[in-house]
Amino acid sequence: MGRMIPVPVLLLLPSILARADTPVGPVEQQPVNMTAIFMFFLFALSTLLITWWAARRTHSRKEFYAAGGGIPAWQNGFAISGDFMSAATFLGLSSLLFFTGADGLMLAVGAVASWPVILLLIAERLRNLGRYTFIDVVSFRLAERPITFVAALGSLSTVIFYLVSQLVGAGKLIQLLFGLDYIWAISCVSTLMILYVTFGGMLATTWVQIIKAFLLVIGGTIIAFLIMQHFDFEMNQVFHNAVATHPMGSDLMAPGGWFDDPVSVISLGMTALLGFIGLPHILMRIFTVKDAQTARRSAFYAVSIIGYFNLIMLVIGFGAVSLIMFNTDYQTVAGGLTGGRNMVVLHVTHYLGGDILLGFISAVTFATILAVVSGLTISAAATIAHDLYAKSIKRNKTSEKSELLISRCAVLGIGILAILAGIAFEDQNVIFITNMALAVAGSVNAPALLLSMYWRGLTTRGAAAGCLVGLASSVGLIILGPQVWVDVMGMEKPVFPYAYPTIVSAPLALVTMWLLSVTDKSHRAHEERAAFAEQSIRSETGIGIIETVRRP
Evaluate whether 364 touches 222 at the Cβ level (below 8 Å). no
19 band by pLDDT with thresholds 50, 70 and 90: very low
Interval 134-182: pLDDT, tens: 787 888 788 878 888 888 888 888 888 777 777 777 777 777 666 677 7
Buried b (16+ CB within 10 A) or exposed e, 314-330: bbbbbbbbbbbbeeeeb
Evaluate whether 432 touches 499 at the Cβ level (below 8 Å). yes
> Hey, is 256 helix, strand or coil?
coil
Per-residue pLDDT, 545: 43
Q: Measured between alpha carbons, how far is 494 from 508 in angstroms, rounded to an integer?
A: 21
Backbone angles phi, psi at 337, to 5 degrees: -80, 130
77 band by pLDDT with thresholds 50, 70 and 90: confident
Q: How large is the C-alpha radius of gyration of the chain?
A: 23
Interval 355-392: pLDDT, tens: 888 888 887 877 777 777 777 777 788 788 877 887 77
Half-sphere exposure of 184 (CA within 13 A, CB side): 10
Name residue 331's beta-bridge partners.
337
User: Of 217, 227, 377, 388, which is closest to residue 306 (Cα–Cα)?
Assistant: 217
442 band by pLDDT with thresholds 50, 70 and 90: very high
Evaluate whether 130 touches 544 at the Cβ level (below 8 Å). no
> Hey, is 295 helix, strand or coil?
helix
Range ranked top by mean pLDDT from 30-39, 289-298, 513-522 = 513-522
Percent of the chain with pLDDT over 70: 82
- The average pLDDT across 196-201 equals 68
Evaluate whether 67 touches 287 at the Cβ level (below 8 Å). no
Interval 470-480: pLDDT, tens: 999 998 998 89
Name the fold adopted by 57-435.
Answer: Sodium/glucose cotransporter (1.20.1730)
User: Of 376, 299, 382, 301, which is closest to residue 126 (Cα–Cα)?
Assistant: 299
More confident residue, 27 or 104: 104
Q: Measured between alpha carbons, how far is 326 from 321 in angstroms, rounded to an integer?
A: 8
Interval 476-499: pLDDT, tens: 998 898 878 887 787 888 999 888
Q: Measured between alpha carbons, how far is 286 from 215 in angstroms, rounded to an integer?
A: 23
- The average pLDDT across 21-30 equals 41
Instruction: Measure Cα distances from 267 to 1, 93, 289, 443 in Å.
Output: 41, 18, 34, 11
Interval 277-336: pLDDT, tens: 888 877 777 778 887 788 788 888 888 898 899 889 889 989 999 899 888 888 877 777
> Hey, is 493 helix, strand or coil?
coil
Q: What is the DSSP string of 62-89?
A: HHHHHGGG---HHHHHHHHHHHHS-HII
415 band by pLDDT with thresholds 50, 70 and 90: confident
Instruction: Indicate if the pLDDT at residue 509 is higher than 90.
Output: yes
- The average pLDDT across 206-215 equals 82
Kindly tell me the sign of the dihedral angle through the C-alpha atoms of 285, 290, 295, 301. Answer: negative
Beta carbons within 10 angstroms of residue 179's beta carbon: 15
Per-residue pLDDT, 390: 79
501 band by pLDDT with thresholds 50, 70 and 90: very high
User: Of 197, 192, 207, which is closest to residue 50 (Cα–Cα)?
Assistant: 207
Instruction: Indicate if the pLDDT at residue 25 is higher than 60.
Output: no
Q: Where are the domains of the chain?
A: 57-435
- The average pLDDT across 529-545 equals 66
Helices (H), 231-343: 235-245, 262-277, 280-283, 292-324
Per-residue pLDDT, 22: 39
Considering the entire predicted model, what is its pTM?
0.74
Q: Which own/partner contact pairs does 187-191 have at CB distance under 8 Å and 24+ positions apart?
A: 187/419, 189/369, 189/370, 189/373, 190/373, 190/415, 190/416, 190/418, 190/419, 191/415
Per-residue pLDDT, 474: 92
Q: Determine whether 200 is exposed, middle or buried from the number of CB atoms within 10 Å of its CB (0-12, 13-18, 19+).
A: buried
Instruction: Measure Cα distances from 45 to 167, 255, 274, 367 in Å.
Output: 19, 44, 37, 11
- The average pLDDT across 260-284 equals 82
Instruction: Indicate if the pLDDT at residue 438 is higher than 60.
Output: yes
Instruction: Indicate if the pLDDT at residue 463 is higher than 90.
Output: yes
Q: Euclidean distance between the first and final Cα of the chain, in Å?
A: 27
Buried b (16+ CB within 10 A) or exposed e, 458-497: bbbbbbbbbbbbbbbbbbbbbbbbbbbbebbbeeeebebe
User: Of 509, 500, 507, which is closest to residue 481 (Cα–Cα)?
Assistant: 500
29 band by pLDDT with thresholds 50, 70 and 90: very low
Per-residue pLDDT, 434: 76
More confident residue, 276 or 255: 276
Q: Measured between alpha carbons, how far is 302 from 106 in angstroms, rounded to an integer?
A: 19
> Hey, is 131 helix, strand or coil?
coil
